[in-house]
C-alpha cells in the first residue's frame, strides 16, 4: 500500500486582528480539505499570504515578501502560492498579470471558496482570481476550533464599514457594513466555550453600530448582555469602537456585565477639531473628552487605548499640539500611532497640503516618547496591586514561566506551571515594564 503524503500549508498573516481571524478560518478550511499547517515555510506545498493595505508600508512589505517567493516557485513548480486579504481585494486579477508566480487571488468576501479554488488550481493548474463582493458574506459563519489549548478566540460580529473616513481604505476593500445575526454569534460562542475557550474578542470595524443593518436585531449592548449569559465564557472583549457611536448603554454595560473586561479601544485619530472634520470623523475633541469622562465616571479602572494618525494633510504644528494636549488630558493607557499614508481612492488622497515625511517622523517620535511616559506611569501604578489574570499558557522565553492578561488587557508574566492554563487567578503585580507586568501568584485563591 502506498501511503498518501500529507500536504502542508503555510499562511503568513499581515495586519489586524480581523486578518488573524481570517487566517484561522483559512486554516480550518484547509485542514478539513486534508492539508496540515506548518510553521516551516520550506515544507509547504501551499503558501498563502494574507495581506493588509491600510498603510502603504504594510503593502510594501507584502510585495517584498511575494518577491522572495519567486525563487521557491522556480525550485518547486508544484508549489501553490495564493494571496488573500485587503491587497488581494485591491489588486484583483491584475495581481496575476503582475506576479507570474502567483496561482490565485482571494478577495475579502470569498474565504469560504478557498477549498474549491485550491482544488481547481491543483487539478488544472489554472490561475484564479475571486474578488466578488457578496451581499451576505458566508465566511462570517466558518467555525474555527481553537488550536493548541487556546483559551481566547476571535468572533466576527460584523464585517465592512459605512463610515468612509477620509484616510481609510477599509470600506473599499471590506465592503459595506453587515452584521451577523445574534443567534449565529451566540451559537459560535457556545461552540467555542464547549471547546475550552474562556475569553472571546468580538471583532468588527465599528462594533458600536452592530445591528444597524439587521431588522429587529439586538443592538451592541443587548448582544453583549446575551453573550454575558453564555456558560463557560468568563471574559468578553471587543474591538474596534467608533467614538461617535459610543452609547450610554454601552458605557453602562461595563458596570452591569461582570464578564465584560474593563478595556476599550477608542481611536481618536487627532486632537484637532479641524483635522477631525477633514478626516470626516463625525465628532469633536470635546465630544471625545466627554465620552472619556463618562467612561471613567462609571468605570474608574477602565483602560482606554487609542489610534492616532500624525501628519494628516494640512495638519499644522498647532493641530499637532492639540493632539499632544489631548493626550496629556486623557493619559491613554496605550496607543497605536501612524504616519499618514496616501492610499489609492481614499478622499484625502486628493487633499492639498501634504505634510513632509520628515515632519511626520518628528511628530511621530515626539508623540511616541510622550506615550511611553504615560504607559509606564499607568503600569507602575499597578505595582503592589492585586489583579485578576487569565493564564493563556507558557511564556515564549521560559518553561517555568506562564503568561496571561489582566482584565484591562495588560500582559502579565509570572512563575507557574502549565496546569494553570485557562484558569483565572489572583496575581500580585511586583514589577511594571513598558510592555508587560511581572506578577506573583497569590496561592489558594483561584477566582
Q: Pick what 341 binds: ligand 5AD, ligand SF4, none; C-beta below 5 to 8 Å, kind-dependent.
A: ligand 5AD
Q: Which residues contact 256 (CB under 8 A, 6 or more apart)?
A: 225
Instruction: Give the x-and-dash track for 157-196 against ligand 5AD (CB under 6 A).
Output: ----------xx----------------------------
**Which grid cell is 44?**
509547504
Residue from 118, 168, 326, 346 in contact with ligand SF4 (CB under 6 A): 168
Q: How many CB atoms lie within 10 A of CB 400?
A: 10
User: Which three-class secondary structure state does DSSP give residue 430?
Assistant: strand
269 binds ligand 5AD (CB under 6 A): yes
Residue from 62, 309, 326, 414 in contact with ligand 5AD (CB under 6 A): 309
Q: Pick what 55 binds: ligand SF4, ligand 5AD, none; C-beta below 5 to 8 Å, kind-dependent.
A: ligand 5AD
Closest contact distance (angstroms) between CB of 266 and ligand SF4 is 12
Residue from 341, 379, 409, 424 in contact with ligand 5AD (CB under 6 A): 341
Q: Pick what 238 binds: ligand 5AD, ligand SF4, none; C-beta below 5 to 8 Å, kind-dependent.
A: none
Closest contact distance (angstroms) between CB of 167 and ligand SF4 is 7
Q: Pick what 338 binds: ligand 5AD, ligand SF4, none; C-beta below 5 to 8 Å, kind-dependent.
A: ligand 5AD
Q: Are the C-beta atoms of residues 17 and 155 closer than 8 Å to each other?
A: no
- Nearer of residues 103 and 315 to ligand 5AD, judged by Cβ: 315
**Which grid cell is 415?**
512563575
CA distance 342 to 352: 12
Task: Identify the sign of the CA torsion 49, 55, 56, 61.
Answer: negative
CA distance 23 to 40: 16
278 binds ligand SF4 (CB under 6 A): no
Closest contact distance (angstroms) between CB of 335 and ligand SF4 is 15
Q: Are the C-beta atoms of residues 438 and 401 closer than 8 Å to each other?
A: no
Site for ligand SF4 in 203-262 (CB under 6 A): 205-206, 242
Q: Are the C-beta atoms of residues 285 and 276 closer than 8 Å to each other?
A: yes
Q: Are the C-beta atoms of residues 202 and 18 closer than 8 Å to each other?
A: no
Q: Tell me 269's DSSP state.
A: B
412 binds ligand SF4 (CB under 6 A): no
Residue from 307, 388, 401, 440 in contact with ligand 5AD (CB under 6 A): 307
Residue from 104, 220, 283, 340 in contact with ligand 5AD (CB under 6 A): 340
Q: Are the C-beta atoms of residues 201 and 238 closer than 8 Å to each other?
A: yes
81 binds ligand 5AD (CB under 6 A): no
343 binds ligand 5AD (CB under 6 A): yes
**Which grid cell is 350?**
486628493
- Nearer of residues 48 and 170 to ligand SF4, judged by Cβ: 170
From 60-68, 161-169, 181-189, 294-302, span contacting ligand SF4 (CB under 6 A): 161-169
Residue sitting closest to ligand SF4 (CB): 168
CA distance 287 to 270: 13
CA distance 111 to 18: 13
Closest contact distance (angstroms) between CB of 159 and ligand 5AD is 15
Closest contact distance (angstroms) between CB of 274 and ligand SF4 is 18
The distance from CA 192 to its chain's CA centroid, rounded to whole angstroms, is 19
- Nearer of residues 25 and 240 to ligand 5AD, judged by Cβ: 240
54 binds ligand 5AD (CB under 6 A): yes
Report the DSSP beta bridge partners of residue 87: none
| Cis before 204 (ω within 30) | no
CA distance 26 to 142: 9
Q: Pick what 343 binds: ligand SF4, ligand 5AD, none; C-beta below 5 to 8 Å, kind-dependent.
A: ligand 5AD
CA distance 260 to 237: 6
**Which grid cell is 355?**
505634510
CA distance 30 to 68: 24
Report the DSSP beta bridge partners of residue 344: none
161 binds ligand SF4 (CB under 6 A): yes
Q: Which residues bind ligand 5AD (CB under 6 A)?
A: 54-55, 167-168, 267, 269, 307, 309, 338, 340-341, 343
Q: Which residues bind ligand SF4 (CB under 6 A)?
A: 161, 163-165, 168, 170-171, 205-206, 242
Amino acid at each position: 500500500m502506498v501511503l498518501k503524503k500529507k500536504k502542508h500549508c503555510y499562511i503568513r498573516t499581515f495586519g489586524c486582528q480581523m486578518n488573524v481571524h481570517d487566517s484561522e478560518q483559512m486554516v480550518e478550511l484547509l485542514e478539513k480539505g486534508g492539508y496540515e499547517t506548518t510553521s516551516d515555510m520550506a515544507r509547504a506545498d501551499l503558501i498563502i499570504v494574507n495581506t493588509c493595505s491600510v498603510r502603504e508600508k504594510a503593502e510594501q512589505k507584502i510585495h517584498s515578501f511575494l518577491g522572495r517567493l519567486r525563487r521557491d516557485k522556480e525550485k518547486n513548480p508544484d508549489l501553490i502560492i495564493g494571496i488573500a486579504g485587503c491587497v488581494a481585494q485591491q489588486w484583483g486579477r491584475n495581481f496575476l498579470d503582475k506576479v507570474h508566480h502567483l496561482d490565485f487571488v482571494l478577495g475579502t468576501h470569498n474565504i469560504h471558496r478557498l477549498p474549491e479554488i485550491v482544488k481547481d488550481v491543483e487539478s488544472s493548474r489554472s490561475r484564479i482570481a475571486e474578488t466578488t463582493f457578496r451581499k451576505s458574506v458566508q465566511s462570517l459563519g466558518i467555525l474555527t476550533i481553537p488550536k493548541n489549548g487556546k483559551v481566547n478566540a476571535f468572533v466576527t460580529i460584523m464585517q465592512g464599514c459605512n463610515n468612509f473616513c477620509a484616510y481609510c481604505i477599509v470600506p473599499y476593500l471590506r465592503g459595506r457594513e453587515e452584521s451577523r445575526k445574534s443567534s449565529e454569534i451566540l451559537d459560535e460562542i457556545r461552540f467555542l466555550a464547549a471547546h475550552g475557550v474562556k475569553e472571546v474578542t468580538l471583532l468588527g470595524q465599528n462594533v458600536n453600530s452592530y445591528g444597524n443593518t439587521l431588522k429587529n436585531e439586538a443592538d451592541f449592548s443587548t448582544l453583549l448582555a446575551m453573550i454575558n449569559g453564555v456558560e463557560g465564557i468568563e471574559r468578553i472583549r471587543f474591538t474596534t469602537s467608533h467614538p461617535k457611536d459610543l452609547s450610554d448603554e454601552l458605557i453602562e454595560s461595563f458596570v452591569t456585565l461582570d464578564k465584560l473586561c474593563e478595556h476599550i479601544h477608542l481611536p481618536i485619530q487627532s486632537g484637532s477639531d479641524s483635522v477631525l472634520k477633514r478626516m470626516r470623523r463625525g465628532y469633536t475633541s470635546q465630544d471625545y473628552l466627554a465620552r472619556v469622562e463618562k467612561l471613567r465616571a462609571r468605570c474608574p479602572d477602565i483602560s482606554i487605548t487609542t489610534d492616532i494618525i500624525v501628519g494628516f494633510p494640512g495638519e499644522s504644528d498647532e493641530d499637532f499640539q492639540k493632539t499632544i494636549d489631548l493626550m496629556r488630558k486623557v493619559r491613554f493607557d496605550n496607543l497605536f500611532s501612524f504616519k499618514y499614508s496616501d492610499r489609492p481612492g481614499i478622499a484625502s488622497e486628493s487633499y492639498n497640503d501634504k505634510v513632509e515625511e520628515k515632519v511626520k517622523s518628528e511628530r511621530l517620535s515626539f508623540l511616541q516618547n510622550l506615550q511611553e511616559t504615560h504607559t509606564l506611569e499607568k503600569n507602575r501604578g499597578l505595582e503592589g496591586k492585586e489583579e485578576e489574570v487569565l493564564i493563556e499558557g507558557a511564556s515564549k522565553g521560559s518553561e517555568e514561566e506562564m503568561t496571561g492578561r489582566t482584565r484591562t488587557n495588560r500582559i502579565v508574566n509570572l512563575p507557574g506551571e502549565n496546569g494553570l492554563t485557562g484558569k483565572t487567578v489572583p496575581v500580585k503585580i511586583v514589577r511594571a515594564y513598558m510592555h508587560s507586568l511581572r506578577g506573583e501568584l497569590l496561592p489558594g485563591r483561584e477566582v
